[in-house]
C-alpha cells in the first residue's frame, strides 16, 4: 500500500514537473550551475550532468580502437539530432564509422550514463553554401535515444514565440585555449554568455556585415568567453525571462578566432529555421513541451526515483 501511494505521488509530481524517465513530450532541462569563465579554458561539467541542453558528442573513427570528437549537437527528438552542416561537408569516412554519444561528460571515457547511436542519414540544408550560409543539419539516427536523468531533449522555440532571454549558456568539448593549436578538450565545459544585438555585432569594427538574418551573436564585447573549434553544432541555450523555461535559440556556427574582443561566437538561429526543421523531421513528429515548475518535494522525489532507476539498470547490467 505504501509503495502504491508512492507511485501515485510520483505520477502526480511527474505531471506537475513535466519530467520523465523516457523522452515522452518533455524538453528544456535546466542546465548545470553556470560559470562566467570561458569554454576556452572553461569549467568542467560534473559527471552525470550530460543532459545539459540535450547535448551530444558527434564522433568519427580514426582507427579500429580510436575515435575523435568532431562536433557537438543536440537531441531534439529521440531519433533526431540538430547540428551544423559544416561538420559534415568534408568528411572522408563513411557514416558507418560515425557515432553520436549522449549522456557523457568526457569523450575519453564511457560509463553507465552513456548511450551510443549510429547515424542513418545526414540532412544538410539544401541551400548550404559550404561556408557560412544555412549552416544547419539534421541527423537521423538508426535507433532512438532513451531519455534518462543524464539524457534529455532540448526545446526549440517556434517562429512566432516571443522570448525575453535572461541567462544564456554555451557548452562543448572543443578547444580549451585560445590562439593556440592545443588538442581538443575531452571534458564537457560550459559557460554563461550574453546575447549581443545583431546590429552591433554586424558593425564595421565587429563582423563588418558578415552576419545574415539567420544569425545570432553571443559572448562578451571584451572577449574572454567563447566557443572554439570542436564546439560547432553545440547549443546556445537561453532562459526565458517570463517563464522558467530553457530554449535552444541557436547552434554554434563560427567565430573569428576564439574569445577575441568584438568577435563573439556566431550562431544559427533555430527560430529562423524552425519550419525547415519541422519539414525535415515530418509533421507526424509531435513537439515536446518545456519543463514546468514543481514543488521542491516533488523534484526531490523524482530525482530519487530517477537515481534508483539508474542504480537498478546498472545492477542488472553487472549481473548479466
pLDDT category at 154 given cuts 50, 70, 90 is very high
pLDDT band at 144 (very low <50, low <70, confident <90, very high): very high
For residue 283, the model assigns a pLDDT of: 56
Asked if 196 and 248 sit in the same domain, the reply is yes
Instruction: Say whether both 216 and 293 belong to one domain.
Output: no
Residue with the larger pLDDT of the pair 11 and 265: 265
Average of per-residue pLDDT across 102-118: 85
Whether pLDDT at 261 is above 50? yes
The separation between CA 59 and the C-alpha centre of its own chain, rounded to angstroms, equals 15
Residue 11 placed within a domain: no
pLDDT of residue 309: 57
Which among 135, 150, 226, 269 is annotated as catalytic?
135
Between residues 93 and 205, which one has the greater pLDDT? 205
What is the mean predicted confidence (pLDDT) over 247-269? Answer: 90
Q: What is the reported pLDDT for 107?
A: 81
- 263 and 280 co-located in one domain: no
42: pLDDT confidence band, cut at 50, 70 and 90? very low
122 within some domain: yes
CATH of the domain at 263: 2.40.10.10
Please indicate, yes or no, whether residues 125 and 211 belong to a single structural domain of this protein: no
Of the given ranges (121-135, 163-177, 293-307), which has the lowest mean pLDDT?
Answer: 293-307
**pLDDT at 290 > cutoff 80:** no
The mean per-residue pLDDT over the stretch 13-18 comes to 37
Shared-domain flag, residues 265 and 282: no
Q: Is residue 40 part of a domain?
A: no
- Boundary of a domain, candidates 232, 252, 271: 271
User: Is 17 among the residues known to form the active site?
Assistant: no
Same domain, 282 and 255: no
CA distance linking residue 257 with residue 179, whole number of Å: 7
Tell me: pLDDT of 35 over 50.
no
Contact assessment for residue 80 and residue 141, using Cβ atoms and an 8 Å cutoff: yes
Q: Residue 65: is its pLDDT beyond 80?
A: no
Q: Are residues 178 and 103 in the same domain?
A: no
Mean pLDDT value of segment 154-165:
87
CA nearest neighbour of 172 among 270, 312, 39, 76:
39
> How many whole angstroms separate alpha carbon 116 and alpha carbon 142?
11
Query: Into how many domains does the chain fold?
Result: 2
Tell me which of 21-35, 64-78, 255-269 is least confident. Answer: 21-35
All three cell numbers of 181, joined, read: 593549436
Quick check: is 9 in a domain?
A: no
Catalytic-residue membership of 240: no
The residue-averaged pLDDT of 274-282 equals 95
Catalytic residue of the set 17, 69, 83, 86: 86
Query: Do 60 and 138 reside in the same domain of the chain?
Result: yes
Report which secondary-structure segment, H or E, holds 310. Answer: helix 296-319
Please check whether residue 288 lies inside any domain of the structure: yes
Counting every residue written for the chain, the total comes to: 320
Same domain, 243 and 94: no
Tell whether 144 and 198 lie within a shared domain: no
Domain that includes residue 113, residue range: 22-32+50-153+275-319
Quick check: is 125 catalytic? no
pLDDT averaged over every residue in the chain: 78
Cα 247 to Cα 298: distance, rounded to the nearest angstrom = 23
Which residues does 85 contact at the CB level (< 8 Å), separation at least 6? 124, 125, 128, 134, 135, 136, 137
Q: Label residue 268 by pLDDT band (50, 70, 90).
A: very high
Pair (314, 221) in one structural domain: no
Domain annotation covers residue 197: yes
Q: What is the dihedral of CA 43, 17, 8, 23, to 10 degrees?
A: -70
Together in a domain, 234 and 95: no
Lowest mean pLDDT among 85-94, 116-125, 266-275: 85-94
Q: Rounded to whole angstroms, how far apart are CA atoms 65 and 43?
A: 28
Mean pLDDT over 208-212 rounds to 95
Per the domain annotation, does 145 fall within a domain? yes
Check 232, 253, 265, 269 and give the catalytic one: 232
pLDDT above 50 for 174: yes
Amino acid at each position: 500500500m505504501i509503495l502504491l501511494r508512492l507511485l501515485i505521488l510520483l505520477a502526480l509530481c511527474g505531471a506537475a514537473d513535466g519530467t520523465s524517465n523516457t523522452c515522452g513530450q518533455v524538453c528544456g532541462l535546466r542546465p548545470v550551475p553556470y560559470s562566467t569563465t570561458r569554454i576556452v579554458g572553461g569549467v568542467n561539467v560534473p559527471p552525470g550532468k550530460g543532459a545539459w541542453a540535450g547535448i551530444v558528442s558527434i564522433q568519427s573513427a580514426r582507427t579500429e580502437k580510436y575515435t575523435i570528437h568532431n562536433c557537438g549537437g543536440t537531441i531534439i527528438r529521440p531519433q533526431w539530432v540538430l547540428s551544423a552542416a559544416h561538420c559534415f561537408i568534408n568528411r572522408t569516412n563513411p557514416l558507418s564509422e560515425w557515432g553520436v554519444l549522449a549522456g557523457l561528460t568526457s569523450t575519453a571515457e564511457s560509463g553507465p550514463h552513456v548511450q551510443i547511436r549510429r547515424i542513418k542519414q545526414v540532412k544538410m540544408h539544401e541551400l548550404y553554401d559550404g561556408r557560412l550560409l544555412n549552416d544547419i543539419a539534421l541527423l537521423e539516427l538508426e535507433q532512438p535515444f532513451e531519455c534518462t536523468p543524464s539524457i534529455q531533449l532540448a526545446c526549440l522555440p517556434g517562429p512566432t514565440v516571443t522570448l525575453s532571454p535572461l541567462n544564456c549558456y554555451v557548452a562543448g568539448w572543443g578547444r580549451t585555449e585560445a590562439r593556440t593549436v592545443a588538442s581538443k578538450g575531452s571534458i564537457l565545459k560550459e559557460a554563461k554568455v550574453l546575447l549581443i544585438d545583431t546590429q552591433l555585432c554586424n558593425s564595421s569594427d565587429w563582423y563588418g556585415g558578415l552576419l545574415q538574418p539567420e544569425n545570432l551573436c553571443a559572448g562578451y564585447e571584451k572577449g574572454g568567453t567563447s566557443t572554439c573549434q570542436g564546439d560547432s553544432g553545440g547549443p546556445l541555450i537561453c532562459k526565458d525571462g517570463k517563464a522558467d523555461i530553457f530554449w535552444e535559440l541557436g547552434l554554434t556556427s563560427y567565430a573569428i578566432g576564439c574569445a577575441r574582443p568584438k568577435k563573439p561566437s556566431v550562431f544559427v538561429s533555430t527560430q529562423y529555421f524552425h519550419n525547415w526543421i519541422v519539414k525535415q523531421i515530418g509533421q507526424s513528429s509531435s513537439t515536446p513541451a518545456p519543463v514546468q515548475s514543481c514543488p521542491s518535494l516533488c523534484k526531490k522525489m523524482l530525482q530519487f526515483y530517477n537515481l534508483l532507476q539508474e542504480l537498478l539498470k546498472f545492477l542488472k547490467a553487472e549481473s548479466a
